[in-house]
Amino acid sequence: MEKLWSGRTNGNNAKLADEFNRSITVDSRMAWQDIEGSMAHAAMLGARGIIPQKSAEHILEGLQGILSDLAAGNLAIDPLAEDIHSFVELELTRRIGDDGKKLHTARSRNDQVALDVRLTLRAETDETLALVRALMQSMVTVAQNYADAVMPGYTHVQRAQPVTFGHWMLAYAFMLERDAARLENAKALMNVCPLGAAALAGTTYPVDREATAKALGFAGITKNSLDSVSDRDFCIELAAALSILMMHLSRLSEEIVLFSSWEFGFIELSDEFTTGSSIMPQKKNSDMAELVRGKTGRVYGDLTALLTLMKGLPLAYNKDLQEDKEAVFDAVDTAKICLRVLASMLGAMKVHREKMLRAAAEGFLNATDCADYLVKKDMSFRTAYQIVGRLVKRCIAQGQTLDTLPLAEYKAFSGLFEADVYEAVDLTNCVKARTSPGGTSPESVQEQIRYLTGYLGHD
């Protein structure tokens, strides 16, 4: 295939070199953005008189035809093309003749690819943000349904204090709120237009960079032409935001795996999001959650690849930068499918209230509340803590819980205990009493739900 850059060399690479150099399989996904950027560039060239207005109109007509044919499936991207930029320009020239060769005036593939990647990732970030919010909505719905369902809260993977399932679910929703903020910030930082930087030094043509930036919906233009073509911070920032997002999804997935196991039994995943065993007929495996957990490492790898790619590059453009797209596109694609799966999986999940409540009772999660009961009768907290610790030890020895231990046993440890201690250690009451902002009481959970509902734009 003809090379746009043949001249200084004859363009006749070895077949192996062509295959090694080719990026069309990765950058073909930027076809729409490449054509959009070329149309803005051609319109600017005509408006500034850099090329004849009729030539600019001819180019725009040809590019629109290519775009329409790609959308309709009437044009296939040539897998032997060097890259998407070459494919579009050569196809344009094939269609409209010499006017097509004027499109690249005042432009390099260096600022062209920088533009295409920014346009592509801007759109991908918007899609990812929508998926983050959709998962948050699923979480809010679950939290609403189980705002009063008592379950054990854990520290050190040991039962600690009672919380509600709704409160637990919202902890992840607030993680996602921060993820959305990071994605918004990554989008804002990438939303400047490099077109007009040309190869590295700018151009001698009287280009209107602000006009092309405005036409493409950018907030402004890049300020330094060297930086414009060599900057991939925006790829790294997006991959970093996605890595933190995936870390949160992985933590959620880990708890889903645990909570859906026989040992916990707090939740049951739908058959639609589980698999069986090829040899053990009783198995119901949480493979989708496990895959999300596993794919997190893949996104971390994409981030590491980008950081390593950039760490030693001199200014300005280097061919190494061709490797940026595969990593960042993979990070985006992986995060998006994980978000979709989790949103649907949570929506189909069953929650077993009684099993969670029983686990909370057996784990002495009301021990702190029992100590607080004594503190409210003017005992020091440290003394109360020690007494309740011995009470728990007695309960374990006798196969009792704080809810079932006879009052006489309580009184053997402190005369301050009265019959109202059972009301104080009732798990439902323990949860209801935690009304501090952000706490686990149903009242506090509802306030968190109201906040997130407003954030998500609902009435």
Ranges of each domain in the chain = 15-105, 110-353, 358-455
Across the chain, mean pLDDT equals: 95
Over the stretch 98-157, which tens digit does the pLDDT of each residue have? 999 999 999 999 999 999 999 999 999 999 999 999 999 999 999 999 999 999 999 999
Q: Does residue 5 have a pLDDT over 60?
A: no
- Closest by CA to 105, choosing from 68, 69, 151, 52, is 52
Quickly state the pLDDT bin for 11 (edges 50, 70, 90). Answer: low
The residue to which tokens 């918004």 are assigned? 184
Lowest mean pLDDT among 4-8, 59-63, 422-426: 4-8
- Cα of 272 vs its chain's centroid, Å: 23
For 411-454, the pLDDT digits (tens) are 999 999 999 999 999 999 999 999 999 999 999 999 999 999 99
Architecture of domain 358-455: Orthogonal Bundle (1.10)
CB 200 within 8 A of CB 316: yes
| Model confidence pLDDT, tens digit, residues 355-411 | 999 999 888 999 999 999 999 999 999 999 999 999 999 999 999 999 999 999 999
Give the residue numbers annotated as catalytic, written as ranges. 156, 277
Q: CB neighbours of 35 closer than 8 A, spacing ≥ 6?
A: 63, 66, 67, 70, 88
Question: Residue 26 above 60 pLDDT?
Answer: yes
Q: Does the structure show a pLDDT above 60 at 7? A: no
* 3-state SS record for the chain: CCCCCCCCCCCCCCHHHHHHHCCHHHHHHHHHHHHHHHHHHHHHHHHCCCCCHHHHHHHHHHHHHHHHHHHHCCCCCCCCCCCHHHHHHHHHHHHHHHHHHHCCCCCCHHHHHHHHHHHHHHHHHHHHHHHHHHHHHHHHHHHHHCCCCEEEEEECCEEEEEEEHHHHHHHHHHHHHHHHHHHHHHHHHHCEECCCCCCCCCCCCCCCHHHHHHHCCCCEECCCHHHHHHCCHHHHHHHHHHHHHHHHHHHHHHHHHHHCCCCCCCEECCHHHCECCCCCCCCCECHHHHHHHHHHHHHHHHHHHHHHHHCCCCCCCCHHHHHHHHHHHHHHHHHHHHHHHHHHHHHCCEECHHHHHHHHHHCCCCHHHHHHHHHCCCCCHHHHHHHHHHHHHHHHHHCCCCCCCCHHHHHHHCCCCCCCHHHHHCHHHHHHCCCCCCCCCHHHHHHHHHHHHHHCCCC
CATH class of this structure's domain 110-353: mainly alpha
Q: How many CA atoms lie within 13 A of 296 on its CB side?
A: 18
pLDDT at 459 over 90: no
pLDDT tens readout for residues 228-255: 999 999 999 999 999 999 999 999 999 9
pLDDT at 280: 85
Q: In this model, does residue 4 exceed pLDDT 80?
A: no
Which residues, 6+ apart, have CB-to-CB distance to 324 below 8 Å? 117, 232, 235, 306, 309
Structure tokens at 67: 């775009």
How many other C-beta atoms are found inside a 10 Å radius of the C-beta of residue 118?
A: 25
The class that CATH gives domain 15-105 is: mainly alpha
Whether residue 19 has pLDDT greater than 60: yes
The whole-model pTM stands at 0.92
Give the pair of three-digit tokens for residue 94: 């094939």
Would you state the pLDDT for residue 315? 96
Kindly tell me if the per-residue pLDDT of 458 is higher than 80: no
Q: Are strands 267-268 and 350-351 parallel, antiparallel or unpaired?
A: antiparallel
Token pair belonging to 230: 């060599």
Cα–Cα distance, 174 to 306 (Å, whole number): 28
What's residue 15's pLDDT?
84
Say if CB 314 and CB 224 are below 8 A apart: no
Does 160 have pLDDT greater than 50? yes
pLDDT per residue as tens digits for the range 285-332: 899 999 999 999 999 999 999 999 999 999 999 999 999 999 999 999
> Residue 255, Cα to own-chain centre: how many angstroms?
18
